[in-house]
Amino acid sequence: MPQQFPTSSSLLHGADTQADSFPLSATMNSSHNGKDLFALLPVLWRKRWFIATVTIGFMLIAAAYAFTAKQRWTANAILLPPRIAQLGDYLELRRDYGLVLQQEVEPEKLSKQLFNEFTAFSGMIDEKMAFLQKNDYYQRNVANLKNAEAKQAWLISTAEKQLSVKATDGIKGEPGLMISMQADNATTAKQLLDDYIRVTNEKTFAVTNSEFLNSIQAWINARQKERQDIIFDVNTKRDAEIKSLKSDLAIAQKGDIDGSPASSITYKSRNIESDTKYRFVLGEKILSAELQQLQQSDPTYPVRYYQIENELKQLAALKERTADAQSYSYELTPLLPTQRDAPKRNLILVLGALLGLISGIGCVLVQHAARMARQNKSV
């Protein structure tokens, strides 16, 4: 049989058929999917009470968690270097010390020193742990923990995460400090924050004042040493003078020098008033009188000795005075928290409802798919 070749019309018809076949198939699949989705709506409607029950169940579980979970409240405070008013009587005491020591006291420098010490102490993890460990809040939270390791872990975690100390910019770029305390209720959070600031301030002032008094004591020790050196020098010279007078007196007594005007003139004519070698010529009476006067009179000290005495008396009086100072000033005082950090009850309820709705619909669709699969298999 002779081979037949397709005509041009048949080729054109075949191409049109192929070109139209895919869009038609896609349109049919799209229409079929849409019909399947609409077909599921009656299924979901019939199971609406099941879906609602699952949704309500999840909401109840979420509500139980939201209203029974441990709460978290955070109290905040922002601190700045202390003003002159916060330095109080301590600034006046330091100025009085400065007058005695001839040192200028700069309030700004003292304020910065106190605040730097406060910042250093407040950020130390050991200081945080020591504070928390002495507080009733620690005892309440570790009461149900069985071993020391668990208690130590709670203490470290709380000190690191719930008691936060961060540097911040204060007014006009002035360095500041933000301290935050998180606890299970608003009142406890504020009380803990107040107590921590107070305890840290007391320790800061105690250490700063102790270091200052230690430097004052070093200064006192140096002045006392200088005074002792002066006393030793004066007494040594006095003892040497007494010994020399006794020696001259002995020579005068042996030489039977009575201190007549002739002997005195002879002594003076030699122009050796400053030379004690020939002082015996003054005679027994004069030498005895000088020796008695020197032995009975108090030592004569230089002016520097009395200056030191006066400074030591003033410093002793200043050490008897007590003063206090605040190592910070408030930009934001600790306030009672008005908004809970956790749990977020409204958000938890909404998420619970959404999760319940999705779970309910998912269960219905799975059941429907399983049923349709069984029907198709039976056919």
Higher pLDDT, 374 or 194: 194
Strand order in the sheet with 175-183: 163-169, 175-183, 73-80, 329-332
Please name the residues in contact with 271: beta carbons below 8 A apart, sequence gap of 6 or more: none
Predicted TM-score (pTM) of this structure: 0.69
Tell me what pLDDT residue 201 has: 96
Higher pLDDT, 317 or 376: 317
What would the mean pLDDT of 24-40 be, rounded to a whole number?
A: 52
What would the mean pLDDT of 32-48 be, rounded to a whole number?
A: 70
Amino acid identity for residue 247 in this structure: S
Higher pLDDT, 70 or 289: 289
Delineate the domains of the chain, giving CATH numbers in brackets.
57-67+345-373 (no CATH), 73-223+321-332 (3.30.1890.10), 233-301 (no CATH)
Higher pLDDT, 356 or 260: 356
Tell me what pLDDT residue 206 has: 94
Higher pLDDT, 288 or 216: 216
Whole-number average pLDDT of the chain: 81
Nearest to 108 by CA among 129, 82, 131: 82
